[in-house]
Structure 1
Amino acid sequence: MRASALGGKRAADAGPLLFELNRALGIPMALAQIGMPEQGLDEAADPACKNPYANLRPVERDAIRALLQRAWQGAEPA
């Protein structure tokens, strides 16, 4: 998908614009809204750290856990 399809000018615009489009469409925005219990965040973070994929940034458990917490709350991507 191109960011320009959502009205963005840069690739970095795509995430926030897609988030807003989904919100406008009434799509659940939080893992909590689709039934994930908060205690499941730790359970989800562990496999992500044990099986890291090629990434420019090191895969750190605290960062993965924070990302999952934001997703569970339905926060806009950072």
Structure 2
Amino acid sequence: AQSRGKEGLNRLRFVVDGEGNVLSFELVSKSGNAALDRATLEMIRRAQPLPKPPADMLVNGSIEIVAPFVYSIDKRRR
């Protein structure tokens, strides 16, 4: 996608337990580019386990997070 100049933003909802294990995940908004959306899903699959969340943020032993993923190409010349 980067080599083709593709940019976009999607949002990923994921649930993490107290040990940093991802219990579930889904795209809640898509970028409009299937390659970028696949990259986000692959990232969360490979990133496990995540760092343990603070215990005081857990609700019933887990935390739900909705995070934006921004794919942007800096077009400035260096």
**TM-score greater than 0.5 by the shorter chain:** no
How does the TM-score come out when normalised to structure 2?
A: 0.28
Which is richer in helix?
1
How does the TM-score come out when normalised to structure 1?
A: 0.28
Which is richer in strand?
2
